[in-house]
Amino acid sequence: LAHMHVAARDVAAAARLGARLAVDPSTSPMTRDSLAAAGRRALGPAGWSDAETTARREMVARTLERATVEPVRGVPRLRDTAGRVQTLASLTGDRPAVVIFWSRQCGYALEAAPALQ
């Protein structure tokens, strides 16, 4: 689709499609860098930043549309920041809790980690 936009001389539309690929966690860092360089040339730095922000919001919205809410069953155990193993209930008490799964290999998860307090 991006090649069709380029052939039609609509490089801005092609760059916006590239932004969708660039924010996809499965896209390799090398490909992401290439898409970003091409996007900045086509849209300018601010335009590329806007395209990435829009693509990221769209990806989050589409992901959440397919998300399911599931209660945690059993007695889940977690390791706290001091390295002690505790039950989820002992950490949260009677308060609702959100459990977030992430990976050390996921760049987006690592970027978001400081905000998870």
Q: How many CB atoms lie within 10 A of CB 49?
A: 15
Q: What is the DSSP letter of 67?
A: -
Reduced to 3 states (helix: H, G, I; strand: E, B; else coil), residue 72 is coil
- Top-confidence residue, 22 or 68: 22
Q: How many CB atoms lie within 10 A of CB 60?
A: 11
Q: What is the pTM of this model?
A: 0.59
53-75 tens-digit pLDDT: 999 999 888 888 887 777 778 88
Inter-CA distances, 27 with 33, 68, 89, Å: 10, 25, 37
Q: What is the DSSP letter of 85?
A: E
Lowest-pLDDT range, 29-33, 44-48, 64-68, 98-102?
98-102
Lowest-pLDDT range, 10-24, 63-77, 93-107?
93-107
- The mean per-residue pLDDT over the stretch 43-53 comes to 94
CA pair distance 56, 107, nearest whole angstrom: 14
